[in-house]
Amino acid sequence: MAPSSRSSSAPCPPTPELKADRATLVALATPWGRGAIAVLRLSGPDARALVQTLSPGGPPWRPRRASLRRLVAGELVDEALVTWMPGPRSFTGEDVIELACHGNPVIVTALQAALVAAGARPARPGEFTRRAVENGRLDLIGAEGLAEVIAASTVEGVALARRALDGSLGAAASALRTALLDWTAELEARLDQPGGELELAEDAVVLAGLRAAAAQARQLADSWRAVRPRLEGARVALVGPVNAGKSSLFNQLVGEARALVSPQPGTTRDAIERRIQLGAVELLLIDTAGERDGAEDLEAAGLAIGRRLADQADLRLVVLPLDRAAPPLALPPGPPTLVVGSFADRPRHPAAPAVALAFSNADGQGIAALRDALEAALCQQPVAEAGAIVVNERQYALFVEIAEACEAAAQALEGWAGPAIAAEEATAALTALAELTGEDVREAVLDRLFARFCIGK
């Protein structure tokens, strides 16, 4: 999912050069537009004083209690339900105020402008959450879970994203860190005291420990394969020979005549994409150019695009016609495949290819079964009922890095490279773990991460 699709369409403040400033932030926390209510959120040391400038007097302020206040911003007058959540027991750890005013962009703009004139600074995307992380109210893993809770497109996706908030991934990372610290200390002791009087664990024990750490990191990384289609949707590429009925099937699945269909081989050149909901999964269906020998120029260029997209897909839906002899289709290694046979309305050719199921674009037979098979293929990997899972690409990539570093450490210890290299690799795994939890994470990574949030979150 493109990061920009998560952002609000409200006017975006320019990226300021300020880094760790403690200005009081203000932002619209609800979507930009007209609605019954809009919520403006403030966080920072001056939150209450700033609201007070718009609304002198009023009922006494009571923590975590909503109060009705008359707000005046120049010519504008509105009434808002105002909730004060003093820090540190607030979302950001700072003083937070939420103003629920009437949901008219004119009101929102006037109130926000008055608050900015009084000294608040418009928040950048994700800046409230970033402050929560900086103030220790949330760790980076929790912040990422929150982003997914907001972005998930299915109920199952929300449930999975919530699992990132329950602390299980943080606990798994912390257990991995403790183990790795032990093994790294063991390896370093071998360097400091070769043959010395320090009591060292057997190499075999350290080796087993490093391998177990690698396996655990690998298992966590692998959970992404099952979680991703449910959280972010899957990419499915239609591939096969020319005239197999790929575009016809694409049209069937998207529910409209979107792609050009003709008996002429090589009809599809440019890849066509459509997002569809298939049961519990949202998927991006991609129709590609059909394979044939002797394709020239533009057709060959189209084929190259299609092959690249198919290579990046989560699943290749291979369409082979059953009324012809099996074509010599050598699929390159890549994502998993589901092989289906079209033209089931016609007599089957004796040398027809073997397929998982038969269907017809002409009379619709087998299409419902094909949808089910497609959904099942995408959700084939069940997500474990409980326990740690990763919920985004960053976490996945870091666990792959950790697993590879642990494997390299084990190999070094076992082989000729020795404990010095093994210690280096184990330290690299620890660095990646620290980046995962946010203990040691570069500013640029944080900037990229929080830019994916909506403004006001």
Ligand X SMILES: Nc1nc2c(ncn2[C@@H]2O[C@H](COP(=O)(O)OP(=O)(O)OP(=O)(O)O)[C@@H](O)[C@H]2O)c(=O)[nH]1
Q: Is 244 among the residues that bind ligand X (CB under 6 A)?
A: yes
Q: Which is nearer to ligand X, 229 or 240 (CB)?
A: 240
* Contact characters 311-340, ligand X, x per CB under 6 A: ------------------------------
Rounded alpha-carbon distances, angstroms, from residue 97 to 28, 91, 454: 12, 10, 18
Q: Which is nearer to ligand X, 345 or 414 (CB)?
A: 345
What's the closest the beta carbon of residue 282 comes to ligand X, in angstroms?
Answer: 23
Alpha-carbon span 368 to 358, nearest angstrom: 11
Which does residue 34 touch among ligand X, Mg ion, none (CB within 5 to 8 A, set by kind)?
Answer: none
Task: Tell me the H-state helices in 58-202.
Answer: 105-117, 127-134, 140-151, 155-163, 168-192
Alpha-carbon span 457 to 54, nearest angstrom: 23
Tokens, residue 410: 């084990």
Residues 132 and 126 sit within 8 Å (Cβ to Cβ): no
Q: Fill in the amino acid letter for 148.
A: E
Q: Is 419 among the residues that bind ligand X (CB under 6 A)?
A: no
Q: Is 248 among the residues that bind Mg ion (CB under 5 A)?
A: no
Q: Is 252 among the residues that bind ligand X (CB under 6 A)?
A: no
Residue nearest to ligand X (CB): 290
Sign of the CA dihedral 307, 309, 311, 313? Answer: negative
* Helix (H) / strand (E) containing 251: helix 246-254
Q: Is 267 among the residues that bind ligand X (CB under 6 A)?
A: yes
**β partners of residue 28:** 40
What's the closest the beta carbon of residue 265 comes to ligand X, in angstroms?
Answer: 5
Alpha-carbon span 254 to 285, nearest angstrom: 8
Alpha-carbon span 183 to 138, nearest angstrom: 29
Q: Is 266 among the residues that bind ligand X (CB under 6 A)?
A: yes
* Contact characters 337-376, ligand X, x per CB under 6 A: -----xx-xx-------------xxx--------------
Alpha-carbon span 40 to 262, nearest angstrom: 55
Q: Fill in the amino acid letter for 11.
A: P
Which does residue 237 touch among ligand X, Mg ion, none (CB within 5 to 8 A, set by kind)?
Answer: none
What's the closest the beta carbon of residue 246 comes to Mg ion, in angstroms?
Answer: 5
* Contact characters 205-244, Mg ion, x per CB under 5 A: ----------------------------------------
Residues 409 and 429 sit within 8 Å (Cβ to Cβ): yes
Beta strands at 234-239 and 96-102: parallel, antiparallel or unpaired: unpaired
What's the closest the beta carbon of residue 324 comes to ligand X, in angstroms?
Answer: 11
Residue with token string 């079209």: 342
What's the closest the beta carbon of residue 234 comes to ligand X, in angstroms?
Answer: 21
Which does residue 242 touch among ligand X, Mg ion, none (CB within 5 to 8 A, set by kind)?
Answer: ligand X
Q: Which is nearer to ligand X, 193 or 262 (CB)?
A: 262
Answer for which of 43, 243, 252, 392 binds ligand X (CB under 6 A) is 243
The residues that touch Mg ion, with contacts defined as CB under 5 A, are 246-247, 267-268
The residues that touch ligand X, with contacts defined as CB under 6 A, are 242-248, 261-263, 265-268, 289-290, 342-343, 345-346, 360-362
